[in-house]
């Protein structure tokens, strides 16, 4: 039988996951804490157990979402050995992780500075990771001999344009679709 502490932690994790699911589907800007409590079938007091304010609750949910996404993306890459497969797996896993997020979620993230900063920090980390995979591919001969720093800068700029909502505005692609397109372009463009 689980201890009260373990049950409490499990309930907080369950609630945090439900909160992320709600925010991904519908965004968060329009919700009050009362709205969130009603939607999650809990009390405001329970929500205050997760964070001290709505802003802190949103920030915690966005951090948790990106932390879990990073784990899933790296797990997808770990199953591949060839650089082209690793690069494709990485970007397609990013796409898959972002796919459940609605346009409203991304718009709310972009307009809430703490959440936008979290997304930007994760985008920069993803760009560094892609650079590592490109470097590995060039050094092993799996990718043609490209200027790695330039290729990485192009990728980083594109990822920042996705994160900043510029790609969505100019192409109509959501973030997940944009990462899928980026995966195809990069893998085909870098192959030897």
Report yes or no on 48 lying in a domain. Answer: no
pTM for the structure as a whole: 0.86
Identify the pLDDT of residue 146.
92
Are the C-beta atoms of residues 190 and 85 closer than 8 Å to each other?
Answer: no
Are the C-beta atoms of residues 186 and 157 closer than 8 Å to each other?
Answer: no
Identify the pLDDT of residue 113.
97
How many CB atoms are closer than 10 A to CB 64? 16
Q: Over the stretch 57-103, which tens digit does the pLDDT of each residue have? A: 999 999 999 999 999 999 999 999 999 999 999 999 999 999 999 99
Identify the pLDDT of residue 1.
55
Report yes or no on 15 lying in a domain. Answer: no
Report yes or no on 99 lying in a domain. Answer: yes
Q: Which residues of the chain have pLDDT under 70?
A: 1-8, 192
Identify the pLDDT of residue 163.
85
CATH number at residue 143: 1.10.357.10
- In total, how many domains does the chain have? 1
Are the C-beta atoms of residues 127 and 159 closer than 8 Å to each other?
Answer: yes
Report yes or no on 16 lying in a domain. Answer: no
Report yes or no on 28 lying in a domain. Answer: no
Report yes or no on 23 lying in a domain. Answer: no
Q: Which two tokens stand for residue 39?
A: 């939607």
Alpha-carbon distance values, 18 to 11, 14, 32, 54 (Å):
10, 6, 16, 15
Identify the pLDDT of residue 164.
84
Find the domain containing 76 and state its range: 53-190
Sign of the alpha-carbon dihedral angle for 95, 101, 102, 108:
negative
Report yes or no on 170 lying in a domain. Answer: yes
């Amino acid at each position: 039988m689980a201890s009260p502490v373990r049950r409490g932690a499990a309930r907080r994790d369950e609630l945090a996951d439900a909160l992320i699911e709600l925010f991904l589907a519908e965004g968060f800007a329009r919700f009050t804490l009362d709205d969130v409590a009603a939607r999650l079938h809990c009390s405001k007091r329970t929500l205050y157990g997760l964070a001290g304010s709505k802003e802190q609750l949103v920030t915690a949910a966005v951090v948790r979402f990106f932390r879990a996404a990073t784990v899933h993306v790296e797990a997808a890459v770990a199953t591949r050995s060839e650089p082209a497969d690793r690069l494709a797996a990485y970007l397609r896993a990013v796409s898959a992780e972002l796919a459940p997020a609605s346009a409203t979620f991304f718009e709310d993230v972009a307009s809430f500075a703490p959440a936008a900063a979290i997304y930007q920090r994760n985008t920069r980390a993803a760009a560094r990771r892609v650079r590592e995979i490109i470097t590995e591919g060039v050094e092993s001969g799996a990718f043609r001999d490209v200027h790695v720093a330039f290729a990485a800068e192009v990728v980083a700029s594109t990822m920042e344009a996705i994160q900043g909502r510029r790609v969505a505005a100019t192409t109509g692609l959501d973030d997940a679709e944009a990462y899928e397109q980026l995966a195809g372009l990069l893998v085909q463009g870098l192959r030897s």
